[in-house]
Amino acid sequence: MAGQDPTLSTSHPFYDVARHGILQVAGDDRFGRCVVTFSCCRLPPSHELNHQRLLEYLKYTLDQYVENDYTIVYFHYGLNSRNKPSLSWLQSAYKEFDRKYKKNLKALYVVHPTSFIKVLWTIFKPLISHKFGKKVTYFSYLSELREHLQSDQLLIPPEVLRYDEKLRNLHKGLQPPPSKKPPPRPPLPTQQFGVSLQYLKDKNQGEIIPPVLRSTVSYLRERGLRTEGLFRRSASAQTVRQVQKLYDQGRPVNFDDYGDVHVPAVVLKTFLRELPQPLLTFEAYEQILGITSVESSLRVTRCRQIVQSLPEHNYAVLRYLMGFLHAVSRESIFNKMNSSNLACVFGLNLIWPSQGASSLSALVPLNLFTELLIEYYGKVFSTQEAPGSRAPDAPDAGEQGSPAPRQRARMDRP
């Protein structure tokens, strides 16, 4: 089946809908917002899909992300008379997505719109608020979408890619010839984003913890631990790019100048997401996916084994970061960011496959693994449990505390 996810279990509560791959979650956009994609070409004929179940599955999936700022990418290609839901269903669906879903939806990108979309807009206009209407952006080509998103993280169906190429070929004569791209420049000696941990270490006098990570963590420890929704909110893309440029030029960054604690939070996530290889490494991806098959009482031990197998540099940086996120979770009564919420934000910024993007069902083990690292930080990164354990770079003061008492059991999460 097109879009079938090999990691999807038949025990999934919405397996009958999820198996089609209609909905996917694909990392963050350039504003630091989670991206959810909806692909019409994956919709089976209407008689093969219960549209009420589809609506319930949409809500079930979005419920995991609506507390954060998020973006939806709607791939319109593939909607036809055989699989098109009725207008009455669309109207009832729109009404069911109440303020809870609309409040933190920051952008709805419609790719390859047709006249059908314009007709729909006319029908729905009386129901759609002006504020919501401003969130909708239409893209005729994927190249326009890629200006707003990390294209390598998007799970774009092959059918959509072929259709986009066909459109571009049809309109090639109407457009100026594309300019030749200059060869990629070697990184600057002061480059901080998009370069390896080893490069950063070599260019920073052997410093293990990358400067961007240390400065953002230090600032957030001092000013952000009790900020409600820390890491959930987005920030101005222009401001984030400006900060990145300062770092890459080796110039000082003072986050007080921006008056927004969410700026360093998004910069931190951006730094992790732009590493050439994820902090948890490509090699550990399959091991991490297996965490849900481990008996619940042994999962922390398994997490410890996996992180112990990481390269020493990655281990040290991960330990430093998890120590900070553990400190954030200890203030969850103020910031509303417990280990589970933080895991939903950081899972895809710490690990992704070497080819393509993570599937929606892969998020369950990825987020669970991240949650265990944060909640059981003291046990996972303890140097006393195993003889000969390495002692990584010592984290900042206050990072080595034992885990805070759990508010509810998480070890038995499937």
Q: In three state form, how does the secondary structure of the chain look?
A: CCCCCCCCCCCCCCHHHHCCCCEEEEEEECCCCEEEEEEHHHCCCHHHCCHHHHHHHHHHHHCCCCCCCEEEEEECCCCCCCCCCCHHHHHHHHHHCCHHHHCCEEEEEEECCCHHHHHHHHHHCCCCCHHHHCCEEEECCHHHHHCCECHHHCCCCHHHHHHHHHHHHHCHHHCCCCCCCCCCCCCCCCCCCCCCHHHHHHHCCCCCCCHHHHHHHHHHHHHCCCCCCCCCCCCCHHHHHHHHHHHHCCCCCCHHHHCCCHHHHHHHHHHHHCCCCCCCCHHHHHHHHHHHHCCHHHHHHHHHHHHHCCCHHHHHHHHHHHHHHHHHHHCHHHHCCCHHHHHHHHHHHHCCCCCCCCCCCCHHHHHHHHHHHHHCHHHHCCCCCCCCCCCCCCCCCCCCCCCCCCCCCCCCCC
Model confidence band, residue 162 (pLDDT cutoffs 50, 70, 90)? very high
Own/partner pairs, 250-259, CB within 8 angstroms, 24+ separation: 250/188, 250/189, 250/190, 253/215, 255/216, 255/219, 255/223
Of 149, 66, 69, the residue nearest 111 (C-alpha): 149
Helix 339-350 and helix 363-375: axis angle, to 10°? Answer: 120
| Radius of gyration (C-alpha) of the chain in whole angstroms | 22
Which residues make Cβ contacts (< 8 Å) with residue 188, sequence separation at least 6?
Answer: 248, 249, 250
pLDDT of 77 reads: 92
Choice between 288 and 85, residue whose per-residue pLDDT is larger? 288
Choice between 329 and 389, residue whose per-residue pLDDT is larger? 329
Opening angle at CA 84, ends 78 and 89, nearest 5: 140
Mean pLDDT, range 70-85, rounded to an integer:
90
Choice between 204 and 26, residue whose per-residue pLDDT is larger? 204
Q: How far apart are CA 343 and CA 330, in angstroms?
A: 14
pLDDT of 378 reads: 95
Distances from the Cα of 73 to the Cα of 24, 47, 51, 111, 316, angstroms = 10, 25, 20, 7, 36
pLDDT of 123 reads: 67
pLDDT of 180 reads: 58
CB 273 within 8 A of CB 28: yes
Mean pLDDT, range 89-118, rounded to an integer:
82
Model confidence band, residue 400 (pLDDT cutoffs 50, 70, 90)? very low
Chain centre distance of CA 351 = 10
First-to-last CA distance in the chain? 25
Chain centre distance of CA 35 = 7
CB atoms within 10 A of CB 109: 21
Per CATH, the number for 15-174 is: 3.40.525.10
Model confidence band, residue 104 (pLDDT cutoffs 50, 70, 90)? confident
pLDDT of 179 reads: 55
CB atoms within 10 A of CB 223: 13
Query: Does the structure show a pLDDT above 50 at 407?
Result: no
Could you check whether 187-275 and 277-414 share the same CATH topology? Answer: yes
Which residues make Cβ contacts (< 8 Å) with residue 3, sequence separation at least 6?
Answer: 20, 21, 22, 39, 42, 157
Query: Does the structure show a pLDDT above 60 at 235?
Result: yes
In percent, how much of the chain has pLDDT > 70? 84
Mean pLDDT, range 94-114, rounded to an integer:
84
The length of the chain in residues reads 414
List pLDDT tens digits, range 345-368. 999 899 988 876 777 778 889 999
Model confidence band, residue 379 (pLDDT cutoffs 50, 70, 90)? very high
Mean pLDDT, range 298-327, rounded to an integer:
96
Starting at the edge strand found earlier in the chain, the sheet holding 34-39 runs 23-28, 34-39, 70-75, 105-111, 136-139
Model confidence band, residue 396 (pLDDT cutoffs 50, 70, 90)? very low
Segment among 262-271, 369-378, 382-391 with least mean pLDDT:
382-391
Choice between 340 and 10, residue whose per-residue pLDDT is larger? 340
Query: Does the structure show a pLDDT above 90 at 199?
Result: yes
Segment among 20-24, 65-69, 163-167, 328-332 with least mean pLDDT:
65-69
**Domain boundaries in the chain?**
15-174, 187-275, 277-414
Q: For the chain, what is the mean pLDDT? A: 83
Query: Does the structure show a pLDDT above 80 at 127?
Result: no
pLDDT of 5 reads: 59
Segment among 114-128, 233-247, 268-282, 292-306 with least mean pLDDT:
114-128
Query: Does the structure show a pLDDT above 70 at 256?
Result: yes
Q: How far apart are CA 270 and CA 349, in angstroms?
A: 8
Q: What is the pTM of this model?
A: 0.71
Per CATH, the number for 277-414 is: 1.10.555.10
- Backbone φ, ψ for residue 352 (5° rounding): -155, 160
Per CATH, the number for 187-275 is: 1.10.555.10
